[in-house]
């Protein structure tokens, strides 16, 4: 990731002449620079005007050389080393678009799954990039999964594993239906991916007991897989119910859903856990009834966080990611933004930020504001619109916390019930 700038290279005949060509440089985060061929009318490219070292347009992406090219750490006369990846041969008009944060998400997934290219330098590699043979894949869980459970059909699949239904053979779960998340050890090619599994089990154990949190039952392992045994939710995803309703909930039905979401998220935040992947696909209903309770699942990207701590790795799902996540400095407020996106979808049936590509979605999240003018928003109550706007505030410091948002919905209901009883 980086920024482009133009560098004027004068001709050898006369440095002061105006017959200069423009070479486009791409400055990446690792200080590798790749010059493109000079743009001349004879090589099929349009001539490009000289561009300044610093654009006059503000950009949320800090430059590695805030004072221009002269701040480069390379000695005078030393040409930059070529970049590993080829640079597209095209010129950009000012203002330059910000680099795509999608590359960070893909790089993060590659690091977790072990799919990234190995570094070709002698610089010590980061934590978790050791060769596979040096990794300890022993988790210390029970090794008798086959004796305790009988696997059934597959019920779901994600980035890091798949989930199957199962039946308990003995013990407390005998003849009970459970869900088993199966994570292949063959995919754990980095220390980070192994630590993610350990942390997911640790978080599930720490948060066990809340009404709207999936119940953790057991963790097992064998030579090939890790098995996380949880409560089986047979009512389907929240997303399926949104689609079944034609994309819209009434305000009262949407409030009932959002109250359950805020209740479990507030519980997680009070325990020092940020989920980081809240979306309708990660909320399951316990049964097919309309009034069935929901359960929050999938803590694979979750993490423990201190009150004064800021996280910087970009994780989550594109449509629900908060602006501060793309800026690589976020905390618990990122979950509140995701709840705001879910609330917006429940009330109008469409996403507040949309584009055809991940880069376009991220650009919309950073620059655009949700639309509250088109149908059906004119028929939505001002209180509901204000509630969603306060969740989708781009300034995380002005965004409501989970407890504040929950009290805004629950306290009027309790007051109304008390008045009616009186």
Q: In terms of domains, do 177 and 224 share one?
A: yes
Q: In terms of domains, do 335 and 360 share one?
A: yes
In total, the chain counts a number of residues equal to 422
Q: In terms of domains, do 284 and 389 share one?
A: yes
3-state secondary structure of 293: coil
Q: Is residue 97 part of a domain?
A: no
Q: Of 208, 231, 254, which residue sits at a domain end?
A: 231
Contact 356, 377 (CB under 8 A): no
Comparing 202 with 86, which gets the higher pLDDT?
202
Binding residues: 181
Q: In terms of domains, do 415 and 372 share one?
A: yes
Q: Of 182, 204, 231, which residue sits at a domain end?
A: 231
Cross-strand partners of 354: none
Q: In terms of domains, do 175 and 152 share one?
A: yes
Q: In terms of domains, do 298 and 395 share one?
A: yes
Q: In terms of domains, do 268 and 413 share one?
A: yes
What tokens does 367 get?
């620059």
- Is pLDDT of 161 > 60? yes
What is the rounded CA–CA span in Å between residue 159 and residue 157?
7
**pLDDT, average across residues 238-256:** 91
CATH code for the domain in which residue 226 is found: 3.30.200.20
What tokens does 135 get?
């990794």
Q: In terms of domains, do 202 and 332 share one?
A: no
Q: Is residue 87 part of a domain?
A: no
Binding residues for ATP: 181
- Residue range(s) defining the domain that contains residue 17: 1-45
CATH code for the domain in which residue 349 is found: 1.10.510.10
Determine whether 136 is an active site residue. no
Q: In terms of domains, do 257 and 220 share one?
A: no
For residue 109, what pLDDT is reported? 57
Total number of domains constituting the chain:
3
- Among 152-161, 221-230, 304-313, 364-373, the range scoring the smallest mean pLDDT is 152-161
Q: How confident is the model at residue 208 (pLDDT cuts 50, 70, 90)?
A: confident
- Cα–Cα nearest to 27, from 73, 60, 94, 75: 73
Given the residues 218, 277, 298, 303, select the one marked as catalytic.
Answer: 277
Q: How confident is the model at residue 229 (pLDDT cuts 50, 70, 90)?
A: very high
Question: What b-and-e string marks burial along 335-372, b requiring 16 or more CB atoms within 10 Å of the CB?
Answer: bbbbbbbbbbbbbbeeebbebeebbebbbbbbeeebeb
Q: Of 231, 258, 291, which residue sits at a domain end?
A: 231
For residue 22, what pLDDT is reported? 42
For residue 246, what pLDDT is reported? 81
Q: Is residue 101 part of a domain?
A: no
Q: In terms of domains, do 211 and 250 share one?
A: no
Q: In terms of domains, do 384 and 275 share one?
A: yes
Q: Is residue 111 part of a domain?
A: no
- Cα–Cα nearest to 24, from 43, 11, 42, 37: 37
3-state secondary structure of 304: strand
Question: What b-and-e string marks burial along 2-37, b requiring 16 or more CB atoms within 10 Å of the CB?
Answer: bbbbbbeeeeeeeeeeeeebbebbbbbeeeebbebe
Contact 171, 148 (CB under 8 A): yes
- Is pLDDT of 230 > 50? yes
Contact 166, 151 (CB under 8 A): yes
* pLDDT, tens digit (0-9, with 9 covering 90-100), for 386-413: 999 999 999 999 999 999 999 999 865 4
- Among 31-35, 247-251, 311-315, the range scoring the smallest mean pLDDT is 31-35
* pLDDT, tens digit (0-9, with 9 covering 90-100), for 96-148: 444 455 555 556 656 555 554 444 433 333 444 444 457 889 999 999 999 99
């Amino acid at each position: 990731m980086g920024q482009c700038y133009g560098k004027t290279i004068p001709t050898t005949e006369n440095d002061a002449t105006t017959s200069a060509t423009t070479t486009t440089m791409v400055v990446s985060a690792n200080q590798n620079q790749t010059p493109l061929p000079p743009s001349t009318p004879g090589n099929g490219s349009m001539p490009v005007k000289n561009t300044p070292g610093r654009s006059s347009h503000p950009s949320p992406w800090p430059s590695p050389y805030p004072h221009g090219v002269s701040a480069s750490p390379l000695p005078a006369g030393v040409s930059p080393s070529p970049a590993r990846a080829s640079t597209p041969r095209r010129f950009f008009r000012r203002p330059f678009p910000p680099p795509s944060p999608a590359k960070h998400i893909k790089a993060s997934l590659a690091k977790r799954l072990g799919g990234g290219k190995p570094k070709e330098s002698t610089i010590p590699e980061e934590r978790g990039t050791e060769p596979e043979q040096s990794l300890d894949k022993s988790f210390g869980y029970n090794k008798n999964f086959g004796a305790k459970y009988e696997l059934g059909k597959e019920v779901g699949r994600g980035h890091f594993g798949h989930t199957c239904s199962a039946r308990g053979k003995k013990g407390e779960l005998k003849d009970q239906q459970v869900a088993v998340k199966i994570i292949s050890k063959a995919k754990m090619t980095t220390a980070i991916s192994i630590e993610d599994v350990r942390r997911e089990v640790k978080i599930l154990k720490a948060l066990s007991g809340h009404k709207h949190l999936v119940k953790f039952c057991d963790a097992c392992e064998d030579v090939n897989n890790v098995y996380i045994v949880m409560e089986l939710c047979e009512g389907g995803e929240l997303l399926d119910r949104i689609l079944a309703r034609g994309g819209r909930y009434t305000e009262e039905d949407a409030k009932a859903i959002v109250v359950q979401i805020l209740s479990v998220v507030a519980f997680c935040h009070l325990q020092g856990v940020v989920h980081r992947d809240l979306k309708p696909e990660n909320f399951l209903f316990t049964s097919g009834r309309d009034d069935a309770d929901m359960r929050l699942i999938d803590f694979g990207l979750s993490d423990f966080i201190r009150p004064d701590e800021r996280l910087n790795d970009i994780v989550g799902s594109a449509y629900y990611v908060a602006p501060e996540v793309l800026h690589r400095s976020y905390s618990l407020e990122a979950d509140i933004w995701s709840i705001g996106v879910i609330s917006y979808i429940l009330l109008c049936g469409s996403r507040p930020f949309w584009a055809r590509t991940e880069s376009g979605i991220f650009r919309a999240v950073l620059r655009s504001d949700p639309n509250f003018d088109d149908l059906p928003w004119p028929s939505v109550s001002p209180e509901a619109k204000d509630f969603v706007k306060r969740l989708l505030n781009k300034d995380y410091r002005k965004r409501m916390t989970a407890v504040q948002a929950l009290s805004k919905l629950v306290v009027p209901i309790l007051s109304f019930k008390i008045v009616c009883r009186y």
